[in-house]
Amino acid sequence: MDLEKFFDNVCQSKLIEVLSHTIKDGRVISLIHKCFNSGVVQGGLFKKTEVDVPQDGPLSLLLSDVMLNEMDKELTRRGHEFVRYANGRMIL
């Protein structure tokens, strides 16, 4: 199973919630939130992003791993055996 368009489907509010459980420094959370609000430029027009994580940024892989770890926890809770490699996953 490949998590196609993973970065395009991350819920920012859920990610901030998960990060807030571990990161107690509000300045760090605020900085990450600002990265989300930076938006993208498509066709010369600015577009605000609310559901995705910027790709190829310095935080993108770290933030994706945070969300994938949450998925790992849920699969474990449900009793599934799985292997995760990058943004792919095999559930047995």
Which pLDDT tens digit goes with each residue over 20-43? 999 999 999 999 888 877 777 778
Q: Which band of pLDDT confidence, cut at 50, 70 and 90, is reported for residue 48?
A: confident
Alpha helices, H only, 6-49:
12-22, 26-37
DSSP 3-state percent helix, strand, coil across the chain (nearest 5): 50, 15, 35
pLDDT tens by residue, 76-90 = 999 998 888 766 666
CA 36 to chain centre: 11
- The model's pTM is 0.67
Q: Which band of pLDDT confidence, cut at 50, 70 and 90, is reported for residue 47?
A: confident
**pLDDT number for residue 43:** 86
